[in-house]
Amino acid sequence: MEQRDLQVSDREVYEAILGELKREQETLVMIASENYASSAVMQAQASVLTNKYAEGYPGSRYYGGCDYVDRVERLAIERVKRLFHAPYANVQPHSGSQANMVVYLSFLDRGDRILGMNLSHGGHLTHGSPVSFSGKLFEAFSYGVSRESHRIDYDQVRDLARRHKPRLIIAGASAYPRLIDFQAFEAIARETGAYLMVDMAHIAGLVAAGLHPSPVEAADFVTSTTHKTLRGPRGGVLFAKEQYGDRLDKGVFPGIQGGPLMHVIAAKAVAFGEALTPQFMEYQKQVILNARTLADKLTEHGFNLVSGGTDNHLLLLDLSSHGMTGADAERLLGQAGIVVNKNTVPFDKKGPKITSGIRIGTPALSTRGMGVDVMETIAGLIKMVLENPNSESVLKKTRNTVSELCTSYPIYGKPGLEK
């Protein structure tokens, strides 16, 4: 087969990739679920391992020629178990959603009851939303946050668990800015005879650094993505108590997946190795410090934050008092070069396509090396843009400041290279 560089062989795709690189370099990415993978992670993901079929597990494959991919997968498993002090791990799930699906299909029967966090209160689609497989295959009930504090109402969780007797309780969220009490969930699950699954996709990096309580001992199953705060490739990982390992391995393969993505598993191994370094812990400390600084400054600027602040990497702005929808805020900030996403807030009266709020995260900006002084500047930019929605001069001024910040804190010095 003729080997040609992408720039020559497929100009359209090449230009789209360059465009995306330019977009990431020249905007402030503040979507809480996004981050920048290192060059080493991307090199592993773009490796020849993409060529290899390896159905099965290390030492027990259905294909020959698996010596090197076995080595890579064993490294990934060993590293991530060490990182999270977990007795069992499976690194093959293609995504966090598929890791969740493995747990459901391995331990539940169709129609069983599950109890997860309400999507509009910060939960995830796969925690029982009616538009997800989780809500279609199982009878789903949801808990939420207190109307007064906007924090998880553990008394409500207990009452719902006692009333509905779910087979599985799901903890974890995609838009919840506070610490989660996994021991409280464990006690409720044990009292009501339910399994406990924790989806720690958003907070995995904070957990790995010891800056958020770990769910590994409390839960029967723990699922996660490998990007977000963990800063690896897009993918999933699954942890559990050791006695569930064989059943979960079969649930991944041949249960819902065929051949594993060995190039992605190699990239996961690299990311797990990076997360075991002291530098990673310092990075996670900065993520939290940046989020708290941003929350404090936005509060000073008169914005209403869900739960009044943050303990982790994200914050939610309720824009109802500003007479603005989340969709409008996302659009305006995007025009200024500040990338966020519209998000429902607890007890939101607007639908998910409009919303009353926006979700803001600090993982990607912290990867760029930005600190609290920059967060204070960004809080001011957000205030200017949202309080002057029709001012072209404000947009222009903000875009100039964003450009200066992005130039001062590049994500890659050259394409494919670290800063």
Active-site annotation, residues: 53, 55, 199, 225, 228, 234
Report the amino acid identity of residue 393. S
Residue given tokens 């747990």 in the structure block: 103
* C-alpha separations of 103 from 167, 237, 318 in Å: 12, 12, 34
SS3 per residue for the chain:
CCCCCHHHHCHHHHHHHHHHHHHHHHCEECCCCCCCCCHHHHHHHCCHHHHCCCCEECCEECCCCCHHHHHHHHHHHHHHHHHHCCCEEECCCCCHHHHHHHHHHHHCCCCCEEEEECHHHCCCHHHCCCCCHHHHHCEEEEECECCCCCCECHHHHHHHHHHHCCCEEEECCCCCCCCCCHHHHHHHHHHHCCEEEEECCCCHHHHHCCCCCCCCCCCCEEEEECCHHHCCCCCEEEEECHHHHHHHHHHHHHHHCCCCCHHHHHHHHHHHHHHCCHHHHHHHHHHHHHHHHHHHHHHHCCCEEHHHCCCCCEEEEECHHHCCCHHHHHHHHHHCCEECEEECCCCCCCCCCCCCEEEEECHHHHHCCCCHHHHHHHHHHHHHHHHCCCCHHHHHHHHHHHHHHHHHCCCCCCCCCCC
Q: Please state, in angstroms and as integers, the Cα–Cα distance from residue 220 to each residue in 223, 396, 406, following that order.
A: 10, 52, 43
**From CA 174, how far away is CA 358, in angstroms rounded?**
13
Burial bucket for residue 226 (CB in 10 Å: 0-12, 13-18, 19+) = buried
